Chain A
Amino acid sequence: MYKFGSFLMTPLAKYLMLAFALVFPLLTSNEYQVYVMASAFVWAIAVYGLNIITGFCGQLNLAHGGFFAIGAYTLGLLSADYGWSFWPAFAAALLMTAVLGLLVGVVSLRLKEHYFAIFTLCVGFIIYLLMDKWEALTHGPIGVRDIAAPYGFGLVDFTDTVPFYYLVLAFLVFAIWFMGRLSRSLLGRTFVAIRNGDELAQSLGINLMRNKTLAFVLSTTYAGLAGALYAGMVRFIGPEEANITHTFDMITYLLVGGIGTLTGPLLGTVGIVWITQSLQFLEEYRMIIFGPLLVLLVIFFPRGVTGSFLGWMHRKGEQAQAPEQRSMGKVSLPSEVNSNA
C-alpha cells in the first residue's frame, strides 16, 4: 500500500492522469459523458482559482461564483450583442474579471475573516442582481443567447463536443501547471504565511494588502477564465450563473478534494460532478445522500481526500526512514508544502 502511495506522487502518475484525460473521449462512445467531463474541467478551473485566495491565502471569498458569471457575461454580451468574435471577447473576459477583481479586492480585503466573507457574499449577490435587473445591458432574466463558439482558425470546429473537450483540457492543464509553480514559489509561501496569521506575516515583513490583492486578482481571473469557457460551451447563459449556490458548490468541491492542495480541486470537482451525475435518478433527493457524506468527510477527513492522503504518506515516510538517518538530519523525502506534485 505504501508503495502504491508513493507511486501516486511520482511524475509518472501525473502523466498517467493526463493520458487518461487525453484518451477519455475515445473510451466512451457516449458524447454526453464527454460533455459532462468537459463541464467538470471548466468548474475545476474555477475551483483552482478559489483555492488560491481561500486555500492558500486563507480568505474565504463568497463572490467567486459572481466573478465566474462576469467572465461568462463579458464573453456572452460582447459576442452576441456587439459582434465580437470569440477570442477577443475571451481575452476581454479575462481582463474584465481581473480589473473588477482588483477593484473589489482593494476595498474588501481591508476587512478580515468573517467580515471579508460577508462582504464578498454581498458583492456576489449584487453581481447577481445586476445581471437579473439591468435589462438594458444584460437582457435580465431572459439571459444571453447566440454566444459565439470558439473559433478554430479553420483547423478544428469547437462547436463539436470532443474538440471543445480538448480545448478545455488544455486550459485546465495550464491552470494546474501555473498553480503548481505558484504553490512551490516564494509567492505561494507568502500567501500561506498570510493564511497562518496576519500578524505573524506582517512581522515577517510581508505587505498584507499587496499580497492579498494579488491572490484575489489571480483567483478572479481563474473564475473569469472558467466562466468564459462555460459561456463558449453552453452558448446560452442567464443570471442564475451568478447564483450563490454555485459558489457553495465550488467550496464543497474544494473541501472534499482538499483545500490548499494541488490535486484536491481536480479530484473534488471531477469526483463530485460524476457522483452527482450517477445519482441523477434520485433528483432532488440526492441531497439526502450528499449531506451525510459531506458531514462524515468533514469529521473524519477535515483536510479533504488529498490533504489526508498526504498526511498519511508523510507519517508512513517517517516510519519507513531509518531512525539513524533522521538523527543525521538527512531525510530524503520530497519536500511537501502544499503540493503533491
Chain B
Amino acid sequence: MLKIERLTKMFGGLAAVHDVSVEFEANKINAIIGPNGAGKSTFFNLVSGMHPPSSGRILLDGVDVTRMPCDQVARLGVGRTFQTTNLFEQATVLDNLIVGHRLRTRSGLWDVLVNSRRLRAEEQACRDKARQALDFVGLSHVEHRYIADITQEERKRVAFALALATEPKLVLLDEPAAGVNPEETEGLAALMKKMVANGLTVCLIEHKMDMIMGMADKIMVLDHGEKIAEGTPEQIKCNPVVIEAYLGSDEDAAA
C-alpha cells in the first residue's frame, strides 16, 4: 500500500526525519508513536506531499508520489486530518463538508456563470457525499448545527468525515484522540476500526498508548527522526530500545 524508502527531511542542518524505511499494508491500522519532536508530523507532511523530502522515495500502490504536490497526492487517494482542524465556525457542519468532494469534480468559472447542468449535478454529488461521510462518522443529527456549537469530539468526527469525503484509500490521522475523554476515545477507536472494515487503510499518530496497543496492527516508533523499532503491539511493548526512548535509560534514572 504505502512503501517508504530511506526517507529523509532536512530543515537546515537538522534532520527532522532521517533515513526511515517502512511499509504499511493495506486494510490495516498502522500507528506511528514516539516522543514529542520525534518527526511524526513531519513524516505525515512528507507522505501527503505538503513538504518535499530531501531524499528517499514514497510509493503509493506502486506509484511514485515523492515529489508530487499535495493536491495531486490527495487526488490519488490520501486523506488526512490535522492536530487542529480549522473549520468554518460560522457555517453548518454539512456546509463545511461539501467542499471535501471538490477534488472529484471539474466545474469551473464558466459553469458558475451559466449555472451548467454539470455544476448542478456535481454539487448534488458533493452534497450526497458529505451526507454519506457524516452518516459514516455517526453525526447525521448535527448536520445543520454551526461548527462553533458542536463539541470537541464531534469536531474530531467532522474532521474525519471531511477526509473521508475525498474518497481516500489511505487516511493519515494526526493525533485523532487528543483532547477527548477516555469514553470518547473508545468511540473514535471504534470509528477507525470501522474505516478499516470498509476497505480503508489507516495510519495514525497518537500518544494514547492504551488505544494504540488495543487496536494497531503495526506500530512504528520514531525518535529524533529515526525509526528505532517497528512491529506488532506485543513486540513494541517489550522492546528495550523503545522503553529506553520513552522512559530514559537506567543510567539516566540513576543519575
Question: Residues of A at under 8 Å CB distance from B?
Answer: 178, 181-182, 185-190, 192-193, 195-197, 199-200, 202-208, 214, 218, 303, 307, 310-311, 314, 318, 326-329, 331, 333, 335-338
Contact = CB atoms under 8 A, between A and B. Distances in A.
B119 interface: yes
Given A196-B87, A337-B95, A186 B143 contact: no
Interface in B25-64: 48, 50
30 contacts: A178-B113, A182-B112, A185-B112, A185-B119, A186-B102, A186-B107, A186-B119, A190-B99, A200-B85, A200-B86, A200-B162, A202-B50, A202-B70, A203-B50, A204-B74, A204-B99, A205-B71, A205-B74, A205-B102, A206-B99, A206-B102, A206-B103, A208-B71, A326-B144, A329-B141, A329-B143, A331-B144, A333-B144, A336-B95, A337-B88
Interface stretch (B75-83, B176-184, B210-218, B236-244): B75-83
Contacts of A329: 140-141, 143
A247 B82 CA distance: 35
A335 B100 CA distance: 17
Interface residues of B, number: 46
B92 interface: yes
A311 B89 CA distance: 11
Q: Which 9 A-B pairs have the closest CB atoms?
A: A205-B103, A205-B74, A202-B70, A197-B86, A189-B99, A331-B144, A193-B99, A185-B112, A337-B95
A199 B50 contact: yes
Contact of B141 (A187, A204, A214, A326): A326
B13 interface: no
B109 A204 contact: no
Contacts of B235: none
Contacts of B100: 204
Given A181-B113, A331-B144, A202 B71 contact: yes
Nearest to A190: B102
Given A203-B50, A203-B74, A314-B146, A189 B98 contact: yes
Nearest to B149: A318
Contact of B95 (A181, A205, A214, A335): A335
B12 interface: no
A289 B188 CA distance: 53
B99 A327 contact: no
A334 to B, nearest CB: 10
B230 interface: no
A203 B48 contact: yes
Given A206-B71, A336-B95, 5 more contacts: A185-B107, A186-B107, A186-B119, A186-B126, A202-B70
A208 B144 CA distance: 28
Contact of A192 (B69, B88, B107): B88
